[in-house]
């Protein structure tokens, strides 16, 4: 038996043990707290800061309590993600990447008596490099907290206000924010470390108009609950292509039209007690601006052969489907249970590299009563590269030309590249709640067809993440 086979058997036995732990005989209450579905990275951290006083500094001098009494919630946390490939890839690579975030939320109902008005402000400091770039992959980054921070000490990622109306059924938000912070979003995604999954399926941001954390653009968002548990959400977001390294550049000089998202959501409650919470989302984004065709030039020729500027296309809307469903309840808290995750994303192949992405996963929380803060997850993701993108590569290869579509075709100069077609990953993780706001999560990832190429050996990634909720 090879060392890899032994490793896979050990991983399978470990996660079988996790998911097969007998459930206690707890009876879940008839009423369960709402399962809020507009979760985004900042919201998940804000909720943790409000509801979980288990932080490294706890409540120094009563500061946390005093801020809360004034309508303010301050969160500071640091995330480090580390690891490397033990086999496969083009070479061995081990890297650490991280993010320090500061988030301030203000409840203006407490501050000034303006009911339903809240403001949100967040900055991040990002550092490090992604290990998967080193071993040859650009499709499914092994660590999600990298890039986008502009090497700035305080990169602005969020500065917006939201106000509720109609007995809290309508929410209107405006300011600097990312489209995918709230659309095609689920707080379950960041159970995992691979950037193909956390913070959203990686295919969706291949549409440049789909801005996402840590990128913030001018935006307006409306979400309306038209009947209980049924929502419609839409908005207008700037398609800002400026190289805004600090996030503090508010000009619209490089705004190319707008993005118009539309999303329908249903939050089912299943089971005899109606306590098996869920979330179903179906949505799309229409990009008003044209995008560069990946194959044809402006005159209809093959751009890689003619060297002429690419044709400008109006892409059809990108689409997504999200389904999170609790299959078994482990305890009374909202997320204590075994959750099923299903995802599908699609983009126009005329203008995109990633075209289709499928995901299926399980996340189990609250299954071990002696360690209620622990959770475990396992997921599989498959991504297909668009036919026109592959055709451009094939033509370049046939004519002895360099990769036609930039550095993202190959990361290490001199690596023989192939036509990119399909790439798959599997990830398994266990999150240990160590107390005092510290989470440690060992992580296992397996890469098939690294970078969508068959000439790069499949890779095994071992690593982990350390999250410290400082305040």
The domains of the chain are located at 37-469
> Residue 25: its pLDDT value, please?
35
Spatial distance between the Cα atoms of 229 and 115, rounded to a whole number of angstroms: 23
> Residue 416: its pLDDT value, please?
65
Query: Which of 246, 240, 241, 282 has the alpha carbon at shortest distance from 264?
Result: 282
CB 343 within 8 A of CB 202: no
Spatial distance between the Cα atoms of 130 and 98, rounded to a whole number of angstroms: 10
Q: What is the CA radius of gyration of the chain?
A: 23
What letter would DSSP give residue 297? E
Spatial distance between the Cα atoms of 254 and 276, rounded to a whole number of angstroms: 46
- Record the tokens describing residue 347, joined without a space: 């983009």
The DSSP result for 161-202, as a single string, is EEEEETTTTEEEEEEEE-GGGTTT--TTGGGS--TTTSSS-T
Spatial distance between the Cα atoms of 311 and 166, rounded to a whole number of angstroms: 46
441's enclosing H/E stretch is: strand 438-448
Q: Other CB atoms closer than 10 Å to residue 42's CB: what's the count?
A: 24
Query: Which of 174, 187, 223, 184 has the alpha carbon at shortest distance from 205?
Result: 184
Spatial distance between the Cα atoms of 177 and 216, rounded to a whole number of angstroms: 4
Query: Which of 195, 279, 291 has the alpha carbon at shortest distance from 233?
Result: 279
pLDDT tens series, the chain, 471 aa: 554 454 444 444 434 433 343 333 333 333 233 333 333 332 333 333 334 458 999 889 999 999 999 999 999 999 999 999 999 998 999 999 999 999 999 999 999 999 999 999 999 999 998 999 889 898 999 999 876 666 678 899 999 999 999 999 999 999 999 999 999 999 999 999 999 999 889 999 998 889 988 889 999 999 999 999 999 999 999 998 777 778 888 877 778 889 999 999 999 999 999 999 999 999 999 998 899 999 999 999 999 999 999 999 999 999 999 999 999 999 999 889 999 999 999 999 999 999 999 999 999 999 999 999 999 999 999 999 999 999 998 898 888 877 666 545 555 555 667 888 999 999 999 999 999 999 999 999 999 999 998 888 999 999 999 999 999
> Residue 252: its pLDDT value, please?
76
Query: Is 37-469 in CATH node 1.10.260.40?
Result: no
Q: Other CB atoms closer than 10 Å to residue 405's CB: what's the count?
A: 19
b/e per residue, 295-332, with b = 16+ CB within 10 A? bbbeeeebbbeeeeebbeeebebbbbbbbbbbeebbbe
């Amino acid at each position: 038996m090879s060392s890899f086979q032994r490793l896979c058997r050990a991983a399978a036995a470990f996660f079988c043990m996790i998911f097969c732990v007998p459930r206690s005989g707890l009876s879940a209450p008839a009423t369960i707290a709402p399962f809020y579905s507009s979760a985004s990275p900042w919201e998940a951290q804000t909720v943790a800061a409000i509801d979980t006083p288990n932080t490294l500094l706890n409540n120094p001098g009563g500061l946390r309590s005093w801020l809360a009494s004034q309508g303010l919630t301050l969160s500071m946390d640091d995330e480090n993600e580390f690891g490397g490939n033990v086999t496969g890839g083009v070479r061995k690579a081990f890297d650490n990447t991280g993010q320090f975030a500061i988030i301030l939320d203000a409840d203006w109902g407490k501050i000034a008596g303006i009911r339903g008005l809240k403001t949100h402000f967040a900055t991040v400091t990002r550092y490090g490099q992604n290990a998967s770039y080193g071993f040859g992959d650009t499709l499914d980054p092994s660590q999600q907290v990298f890039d986008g921070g502009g090497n700035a000490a305080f990169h602005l990622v969020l500065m917006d206000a939201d106000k509720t109306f109609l007995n809290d059924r309508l929410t209107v938000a405006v300011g600097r924010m990312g489209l995918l912070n709230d659309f095609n979003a689920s707080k379950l995604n960041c159970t995992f470390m691979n950037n193909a999954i956390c913070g959203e399926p990686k295919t969706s941001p291949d549409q440049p108009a789909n801005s996402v954390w840590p990128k913030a653009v001018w935006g307006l968002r409306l979400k309306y609950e038209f009947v209980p548990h049924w929502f419609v959400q839409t908005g207008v977001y700037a398609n800002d292509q400026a190289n805004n390294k600090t996030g503090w550049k508010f000009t619209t000089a490089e705004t190319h039209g707008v993005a118009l998202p539309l999303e329908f959501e249903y939050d089912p409650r299943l089971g005899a007690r109606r306590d098996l919470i869920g979330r179903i989302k179906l949505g799309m984004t229409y990009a008003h601006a044209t995008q560069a065709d990946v194959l044809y030039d402006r005159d209809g020729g093959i751009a890689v052969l003619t060297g002429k500027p690419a044709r400008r296309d109006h892409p059809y809307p990108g689409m997504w489907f999200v389904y999170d469903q609790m299959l078994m309840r482990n305890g009374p808290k909202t997320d204590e249970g075994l959750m099923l995750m299903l995802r599908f994303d699609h983009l126009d192949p005329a203008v995109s590299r990633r075209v289709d992405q499928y995901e299926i996963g399980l996340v189990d929380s609250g299954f071990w009563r002696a360690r209620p803060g622990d959770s475990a997850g396992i997921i599989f993701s498959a991504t297909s590269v668009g036919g026109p993108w592959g055709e451009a590569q094939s033509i370049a290869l046939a004519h002895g030309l360099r990769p036609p579509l930039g550095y993202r075709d190959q990361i290490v100069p001199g690596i023989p590249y192939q036509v990119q077609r399909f790439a798959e990953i599997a990830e398994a993780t266990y999150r240990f709640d160590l107390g005092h706001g510290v989470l440690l999560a060992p992580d296992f990832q397996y890469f098939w067809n690294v970078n969508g190429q068959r000439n790069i050996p499949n890779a095994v990634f071992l690593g982990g993440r350390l999250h410290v909720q400082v305040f």
